[in-house]
A and B are shown apart, each in its own frame.
Chain A
Amino acid sequence: MFHFFLKRKRFFFFSLLIILCIALITLSVDKKQKQFPAEKALQSFFSYPLTLTTWIFNTTSALWNGYVYLVDVEKRNTGLQQEMSVLLLENQQLREHFLENQRLKALLNFKQQFSYHMLPAEIIGRDPSSWFKTILVNRGTKAGVTRGSGVVSPLGVVGTVIETTLHSSKILLITDQNSAIDILAKRSRVRGILEGLAENACSVNYVVKSEDIQKDDEIISSGLNAIFPHGILIGSVAETNNTPDGFFKNIAVIPAVDFSKLNEVLIVLTNQATAAVEKKQSPLTRE
């Protein structure tokens, strides 16, 4: 019997390999499944040299920009001072509006359901394949990042966290085929689902033909899934058209964020995640 297996060992070896591949593919079709420990270890191992390279690059460019490349700094400084005085005035007005808003909300007994804490993170890697749109950042479970956390930038929504290790996280960009976000059209308040198109564009699905969405309309996050705060800019409508058959409109959206120039992001943490991290890091709880 053993001799039979030995004689056909190459055949059995390759059959085993094919079975293993099929098993891995079958397991990964279920998108809710958790990461294998080997995957976590590999991703974690890989994030350290990437973090180091990013740190070296950023330090060098900071040195260059801060100490060596100082041409036109005075001119830019004067311009920025003027801009700052205008913004300070605007800021004061906005503060007034904010306080007024708070008072009115309190009057209406408005209860805020979710409050968010933003965690800054640096991009240390991009997806090595051309077929998927993910990025690696240098913050992981130790900083309170959990699977499913939203990721934004000052320009707009970036994506969601899909995998985490101790010191790094993988983020699925809104332009990836697997991404789906609940959205609102800012002008007409029409709701829909934003999905990635695997290039630098997205589409809004499930908007019926009779709804009012036009070119250049701004698309914002609805805030319903508690992943992103309400009202964060996602992008603007580039094109809309009605297909002769079917119930829904074809809406193409250009994201507000230029993903190729993105260096830093903000991870949206819910209050529970922040509290858990603070509890972990507190010296009293350690004792």
Chain B
Amino acid sequence: MTETRSNINTGTSGALFKTSLAETDTMVKTYSLYVGIAFCLLFVQTNPMLPLGNHGIRPDLLLFLVLNAAVTLSAVHCACIIFIIGYTFDTVSGSPVGLFISTYLLIFGIISLLRRFYNFNTRIELFGLLLLCLIVKYIALYFFLCFVYEYHYNNLLKTILYETLFTIIVFPLVFPLIQNALNHNLTPGKVFATKKSHGA
């Protein structure tokens, strides 16, 4: 028991429980920023005055935040943030609780796997990753809605096409804003970046 405690204190066992004051401060700041931005994006997406998607099909702005978090943050913190984002989305929308949490976590899982082999730095690479995220999202949603919740969608293709189109249109406008807001407020290198080096 004594040995275990000393291990935690000296930090030989890993980083999940050993946090200094500065790290806690950065952690609180990162979580607050991500949650704050998620609320702002959700506010825009829910607003009835949004010019896009008057017929109920809207761009997925929160996917940009999930994408950014999955590319920049470490796995544990990223999963926590995505869980909060997904839960908020599920609460505000008419979806059953757990649907978007699971979908976003699945997207995060796939991006994490890809990050082991490739670094996504440029906007073009991130755009490609967004397209992949959209495909994963639709497959996950289709699976959950048809096999878990037993919905019967007749015109799935129209929803998918319009949502993809709207999301792609707003990506060059919104994603740099999210990146700037995060980079401006969080010092690069102090965010929970993964310690592994990624080979291109």
Bound-state CA distance A14–B108 (Å) is: 12
Q: Is B151 a contact of A10 with CB atoms below 8 Å? A: no
Q: Is A21 a contact of B55 with CB atoms below 8 Å? A: no
A123 within 8 A of B: yes
| From A24, A129, A263, contact of B58 by CB (8 A) | A129
| From A13, A127, A162, A177, contact of B16 by CB (8 A) | A13
Q: Cβ of B101: which chain A residues have Cβ within 8 Å of it?
A: 21, 24
Q: For the complex formed, measure the closest distance between the CB of A165 and the CB atoms of chain B, giving whole angstroms.
A: 11
Bound-state CA distance A47–B138 (Å) is: 28
Given contacts A9-B16, A29-B148, A200-B55, contact A126 B46 (CB under 8 A): yes
A98 within 8 A of B: no
B19 within 8 A of A: no
Q: Is A125 a contact of B46 with CB atoms below 8 Å? A: yes
Given contacts A9-B14, A127-B56, contact A176 B48 (CB under 8 A): no
Which of B7, B93, B101, B105: most chain A Cβ within 10 A? B93
Q: Is A28 a contact of B97 with CB atoms below 8 Å? A: yes
B54, closest chain A residue (CB): A260
B24 within 8 A of A: no
Q: Is A43 a contact of B95 with CB atoms below 8 Å? A: no
A114 within 8 A of B: no
Interface residues on chain A, size class? 35 or more
B97, closest chain A residue (CB): A28
Task: Name the interface residues of A173-191: CB closer than 8 Å to any CB of B.
Answer: 175-178
Task: Name the interface residues of A7-26: CB closer than 8 Å to any CB of B.
Answer: 7, 9-10, 13-14, 17, 20-25
B154 within 8 A of A: yes
Q: For the complex formed, measure the closest distance between the CB of B32 and the CB atoms of chain A, giving whole angstroms.
A: 15
Q: Cβ of B57: which chain A residues have Cβ within 8 Å of it?
A: 130
B94 within 8 A of A: yes
| From A23, A130, A175, A200, contact of B162 by CB (8 A) | A130
Interface residues on chain B, size class? 35 or more
Q: Is A25 a contact of B144 with CB atoms below 8 Å? A: yes
Bound-state CA distance A253–B141 (Å) is: 26
Binary per-residue interface labels of chain A (130-156) against chain B in the complex, 1 for a CB within 8 Å, 0 otherwise: 111111100000000000000000000
B40, closest chain A residue (CB): A49
Q: Is B83 a contact of A17 with CB atoms below 8 Å? A: yes
Q: For the complex formed, measure the closest distance between the CB of A166 and the CB atoms of chain B, giving whole angstroms.
A: 15
Given contacts A128-B89, A132-B95, contact A50 B46 (CB under 8 A): yes
Q: Cβ of A43: which chain B residues have Cβ within 8 Å of it?
A: 91-92
Given contacts A7-B13, A39-B97, A124-B48, 17 further A-B contacts (CB under 8 A): A6-B17, A17-B79, A28-B96, A42-B92, A50-B43, A125-B46, A126-B46, A126-B58, A128-B45, A128-B62, A130-B60, A131-B141, A162-B94, A198-B151, A198-B155, A200-B56, A259-B55
A-B CB contact pairs (8 Å), 29 listed: A6-B7, A6-B14, A6-B17, A10-B76, A17-B83, A21-B98, A22-B98, A25-B96, A28-B96, A28-B99, A29-B96, A39-B97, A43-B91, A46-B43, A49-B43, A53-B47, A57-B49, A125-B46, A127-B58, A129-B60, A131-B145, A131-B159, A172-B94, A175-B56, A177-B152, A178-B94, A198-B153, A198-B154, A199-B55
